[in-house]
């Protein structure tokens, strides 16, 4: 294992500390919990937007705290769910009296702990709603969408929910818009090599140098197909076809695209993917309103990438393109 770290057991706390020190105008540590990051300048008189999840995926989850995005985030250990207490702290620190929307990746521990946390704060008078993001089309069939994992598509939900919350919209309206975004996202990824967890010191899975795995999860969950490495165009065409079949996108639809590195895959390769995706969209007569290329949801140093589509309505487009303040997002 080669990593630029100190003691592996201090990995999460030191990375949080570094994030705050690097962007003190954006992030602050909650006074009541050292695993909760909140906005440096707490907003007032708006719906709070909260998420939480394991470390090892920056910018997800912590990086998306900021104006026009999240108000607070609970942070677990590497690839581990935050505790109920951490989630309660995040909700309370995000609340300004108008209720809190919790946006949750569809992982058992995250969902269970947020459900308990919401019950606890509601007993104290804080109104909450939950949106469970499930965009990974490899993890379950269209008939079982509720079982799908939440991956890079959740960032679109963060952004859109955060934007409409800034307008002073009600909790119900924020929930409805976030739900609309959640229903309109599809993601499919491919892994080329594993990552190594700091405290484990060994790869999360094994794969031959000439192999790839389509649909592998960001924690190394099994995908839908392991095969030999092939050209970028052939691979992108395959992923594109699968996403189009699942999303039912049609000509003249407006969409946004996210081409995301899982950690180690460089921008040059992502732009090769972007070139081919945009060619396919043009051939399908689908209008790409905006392309996002970069590291948005990672898995430590895993090599690979994911493609996310978001079908845009006028409401979703307006909130996606609204200005925000976040070091990991280009407006």
Residue 214 in 3-state DSSP?
Answer: strand
Q: Do β-strands 225-228 and 211-214 pair in parallel, antiparallel, or remain unpaired?
A: antiparallel
pTM above 0.75, yes or no: yes
168: left (phi over 0), alpha (psi -120 to 50) or beta: left
pLDDT of residue 202: 87
Dihedral of the alpha carbons of 110, 305, 262, 294, in degrees to the nearest 10: -110
| Residues contacting 294, CB < 8 A, separation 6+ | 259, 260, 261, 267, 270
- Minimum mean pLDDT range among 62-71, 77-86, 124-133, 192-201: 192-201
What domains can you pick out in the chain, each with its CATH number? 11-183 (3.40.50.10440), 185-320 (3.30.1180.20)
Residue 241 has pLDDT above 90, yes or no: yes
pLDDT of residue 287: 98
Active-site residue numbers?
57, 219
Q: What is the mean pLDDT of residues 142-163?
A: 96
pLDDT of residue 200: 87
Categorize the per-residue pLDDT at 201 as very low, low, confident or very high, splitting at 50, 70 and 90: confident
Residue 16 has pLDDT above 90, yes or no: yes
Q: What is the mean pLDDT of the chain?
A: 97
| Residues contacting 219, CB < 8 A, separation 6+ | 79, 204, 299
Name which of 71, 220, 244, 76 is nearest 149 in CA terms. Answer: 220
């Amino acid at each position: 294992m080669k990593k630029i770290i100190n003691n592996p057991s201090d990995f999460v706390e030191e990375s949080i500390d570094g994030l705050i020190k690097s962007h003190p105008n954006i992030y602050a540590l909650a006074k009541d919990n050292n695993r909760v990051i909140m906005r440096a300048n707490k907003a007032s008189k708006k719906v709070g937007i909260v998420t939480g999840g394991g470390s090892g995926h920056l910018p997800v989850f912590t990086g998306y705290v900021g104006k026009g995005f999240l108000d607070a985030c609970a942070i677990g250990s590497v690839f581990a769910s935050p505790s109920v207490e951490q989630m309660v702290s995040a909700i309370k620190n995000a609340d300004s009296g108008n209720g809190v929307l919790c946006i949750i990746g569809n992982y058992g521990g995250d969902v269970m702990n947020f459900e308990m946390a919401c019950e606890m704060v509601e007993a104290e008078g804080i109104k909450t709603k939950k949106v469970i993001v499930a965009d990974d089309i490899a993890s379950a069939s269209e008939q079982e969408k509720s079982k799908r994992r939440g991956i890079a598509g959740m960032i679109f939900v963060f952004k859109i929910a955060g934007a409409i919350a800034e307008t002073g919209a009600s909790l119900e309206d924020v929930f409805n818009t976030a739900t609309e975004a959640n229903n309109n996202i599809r993601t499919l990824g491919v892994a080329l090599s594993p990552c190594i967890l700091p405290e484990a010191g060994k790869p999360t899975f094994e794969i031959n140098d000439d192999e790839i795995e389509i649909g592998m999860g960001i924690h190394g969950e099994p995908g839908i197909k392991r095969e030999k490495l092939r050209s970028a165009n052939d691979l992108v065409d395959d992923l594109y076809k699968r996403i189009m079949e699942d999303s039912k996108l049609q000509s003249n639809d407006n969409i946004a695209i996210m081409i995301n590195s899982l950690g180690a895959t460089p921008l040059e390769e992502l732009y090769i993917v972007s070139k081919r995706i945009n060619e396919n969209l043009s051939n399908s007569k689908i209008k790409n309103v905006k392309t996002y290329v970069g590291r948005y949801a990672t898995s430590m140093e895993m090599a690979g990438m994911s493609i996310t589509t978001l079908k845009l309505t006028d409401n979703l487009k307006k909130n996606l393109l609204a200005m925000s303040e976040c070091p990991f997002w280009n407006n």
